[in-house]
Chains A and B, each alone.
Chain A
Amino acid sequence: MMNDKDRDLIAALAEGRLSGTIAEDALARIETDPELAAEYADQVAALAFLQSGQPPQMTATERSTLRMNLTEQLGLVPETTSMLTSAKRGARWWQPVFGLAAAAVVVTAIVILPGTLTGDSADTAPVEVAVSEFDAAGEEDLQTETTQSAAGMADAAESPAAESQNLDEDMDIAVYETESVELGDLLERARGADGRDALEGQLKGFAFRSIIALDRAEVDRCLNALADDIPEGVVETFVIGAEVLDEGTAEVLDQVTIVHVGFDFGDGIDDALSFEIGSCSLVEHAPQG
């Protein structure tokens, strides 16, 4: 009859916690007893089975859903922000927190744009990306990058496509907050990524707080408008991040969106530029590695 000591011995041997002569002695003892041998075989079989599977992982969509719901339910962000349907907003909760008249919101998302710079303008499905509040330390830098009013965004808000809040299932998105929105930093983190999963992995560690919608057609339109600034040989384009900047007073805020895209020339992302959506003006072009 097996006792607790036998059970512990069998478990330790099956888990590989014994070695050398101790393991040999334990095995010899087990092999002499059919009941113990059967128990040992069960433990080994179960452990082998359990270790045969891959650890489950959240998909990008599950991750963004979780974080959005948490921030909303914990009251960390009062409402889901749609930059396309709400170009101007009233006072926001974090303004008194930071004591600032203007603040920046940082968005980092990963979106693969099928095709390259062909800009199918018929596809107007919104791309969902995540928003996070950027800390006060980074605001000055962000604001100096911004030169445009929200006129373009207001126009976009009036388009039928902008009213849709449905997630475009064809646009896989991973969303992480970045501590820095410097294009060069984003490029360094994203460099070499040759697919959504790789990019997602490289940007893992960023966090985010809620979701907004980016109009895919707007992104494509700007990429086409900036064709002269885009190097030759791009085989795939990724939206690797965006910044939504709120400017103005607590009473009237204008939003400006700067989108960061990375270019894959066949060996992963190796170049990036930023543009302002709406006006499609170039903000910055990071050098190739």
Chain B
Amino acid sequence: MTTVICEMTDRADRDIELIDRYLTGDIDAFTELVTAHEDRVFAICLRMLSSREAALDATQDTFLTVFRKADRYKAQAAFSTWLYRVTVNTCYDLLRREKRRGADRIPESYDPIDPQATDPFDAVDVRPDIESALAQLSPEFRAAVVLVDLQGMSLEQAGDTLEVPTGTVKSRLFRARKQLAQSLGNLRPPSEHPTGDNGE
């Protein structure tokens, strides 16, 4: 555990140093920052947007925003917190844009439920993947799940990233998981329903 904390601190310190160097025109600092964070940014975007193409666009927009506004970065918060905040906000913007267009993006792997199916488990060929399941959540709930349950952030880090109190993160997580479980349960035989024996 100590090692992990040290690594995180090292990373945070390194990021601050790299931003400073980038602002003085050091191109290597730029490449190191991108290399260090691109996978995680892309993972967040993909989970938020359910489409690789959209995720790549969002990842690009995120880094463009961060580097173009690098001079405004204050080292009061970790660079990664700021970066992931921009990431989530970029995804929110894209989702809002999609919504305004009136056509919610259909996840690449989404398999629509057959309304004619009598057995809910027959309604789809396969169990939904994570992107499809997450796509059913509101963006705010989705972000909480992505940051904490999928990216392993602490509640506090997620709160800082989303700019909401920790209690709000807890609440969103709890409700998001409940929705996920219920949507999963609707696609399973009764015996496998997660709330089958106890809940209803």
Contacts and interface: CB of A to CB of B under 8 A. Distances in A.
Contacts of B27: 76, 133, 209
Interface string A26-60: 00000000110111011111110111110111100
A73 B185 contact: no
Q: Is chain A's binding surface mostly helix, strand, loop or mixed?
A: helix
Interface in A130-149: 132-133, 135
B35 A43 contact: no
A37 B174 contact: no
B30 interface: yes
Contacts, number: 127
Contacts of B38: 58, 63, 66-67
A38 B46 contact: no
A39 B167 CA distance: 18
Nearest to B167: A4
A67 B39 contact: no
A52 B133 CA distance: 13
Contacts of A43: 174, 177-178, 181
B52 interface: yes
A176 B34 CA distance: 12
A121 interface: no
Interface in B171-197: 171, 173-174, 176-178, 180-182, 184-185, 194-195
Contact of B199 (A38, A44, A56): A38
Given A34-B198, A70-B34, A97-B25, A49 B180 contact: yes
Interface string A84-107: 000000000000010000000000
A55 B150 CA distance: 8
A251 interface: no
A205 interface: yes
Interface residues of A, number: 49
Nearest to B25: A97
A44 B145 CA distance: 14
Nearest to B195: A38
A171 B126 CA distance: 32
A208 interface: yes
Nearest to B63: A70
Contacts of B35: 176, 205-207
Contacts of B198: 34, 37-38, 41
Contacts of B30: 71, 74, 76
- 10 smallest CB-CB distances across A and B, nearest first, come from A38-B199, A207-B31, A45-B194, A46-B177, A42-B181, A37-B198, A46-B180, A45-B181, A53-B130, A46-B181
Given A50-B145, A207-B35, 13 more contacts: A10-B174, A11-B174, A14-B177, A41-B194, A45-B180, A46-B194, A53-B129, A56-B55, A62-B52, A66-B42, A67-B38, A133-B27, A207-B31
